[in-house]
Structure 1
Amino acid sequence: MPITTTPRRQPDDPGHPRHRPDRSRRRPRPGFADLSYYGGAPLGAHPGATGEALRFAGAALAEGHAVRVHLLRGAVALAAEGAHPEQGELMAELMAADMAVSACGKALDELGVTDADLRPGIERGSMKALAAWTAESDSVLSF
């Protein structure tokens, strides 16, 4: 009686338990390469975190990454024109370098910041918009 053998499956074979689909065929996602959102506590609680987040965003922009920042909770105070001049000046420079910025609408309302008070270029955002940005991004960071 002849002996028959079954060829051993390789990891690139779709039937192999460790098979991974070819990632080169996946549909490219539109939008931005990176998303950085700063969820910050009130700015006085961790004063260094705001500067660190903005400096990181600047470094990412300098490396050619697209960066979007969504301000949450107390960090929305940065969105108000004239508030926190040092961080506000850096944010304005980064926005001039194509960094997109939105601020949580609910947090803006809680702080009493109106749309007229927002720095030029900052949009009133929402969790739905943040979820869409997150889905389109390759990286998500929180400071």
Structure 2
Amino acid sequence: MQTILLTVNASPYGSERLLSALRLTLALLSQPGAAQVRLFLLSDAVSTAINQQTVATPPNLGEMLSEAMALGATVHVCRSCADARGLKAERLLPGVQIGSMPELAEWTLAADKVLSF
């Protein structure tokens, strides 16, 4: 089984980069046993992990992120990026954890593939 790390820096609704990252994540996870997927959200991407978001037009990227975690994805948000945006752990989707740069470094070294969006 491959380990695939996706780092995402893009704002959730400012472009389609985050949507593309989540679509790829869901496609990878739809193939049982093919890959362990880890997502590390940085910069404005951390706001994707806010619980109970209401969006004006679909898709709801928070719901897609929850679906990915239900299928086995591990999701962490950058601590300093979350702090800079006033995002506390209790406001995150269930299952999302606060991560750190040393942890991202470990994930990067352990990954078979690293993709950045």
Provide the residue aligned with 1:123 in structure 2. 97
User: How high is the TM-score relative to the length of structure 2?
Assistant: 0.87
- Going from structure 1 to structure 2, the CA distance change for 1:98 and 1:132 (only over 3 Å counts) comes to same
Corresponding residue number in structure 2 for 1:10: none
Deviations 1:43-78 (A, max 9, x none): 3431x1111110001111123211000000000001
Sequence identity of aligned pairs in percent? Answer: 33
Unaligned runs of 5+ in 2: none
| 1:12-46 per-position Cα deviation (integer Å, ceiling 9, x unaligned) | xxxxxxxxxxxxxxxxxxx9621111122x33431
Distance 1:45 1:37 in 2: 17
Deviation at 1:82, TM superposition (A): 1.9
RMSD between aligned residues: 1.6
Q: What's the counterpart of residue 45 of structure 1?
A: 14
Number of residues of Structure 1 aligned to a counterpart in Structure 2: 111
1 or 2, which has the higher strand percentage?
2
Q: Deviations over 1:57-115 (max 9, x none)?
A: 11111232110000000000011112365001111111000100000011111111111
The residue that corresponds to 2:43 in the other structure is 73
Partner residue of 1:61? 29
Structure 1: 5+ residue runs without aligned partners? 1-30
Query: What is the alpha-carbon distance in structure 2 between the residues aligned to residue 56 and residue 124 of structure 1?
Result: 22
Distance 1:32 1:44, change over 3 A: same
Deviation, 1:140, is 0.2
Moved more, 58-67 or 81-90: 81-90
**TM superposition score normalised by structure 1:** 0.72
- 1:103 aligns to 2:81 (yes or no): no
Match of 1:82 among 44, 52, 71: 52
Aligned counterpart, 1:35:
5
Change (3 A) 1:36 1:116: same
Alignment-mate amino acid for residue 39 of structure 1: N
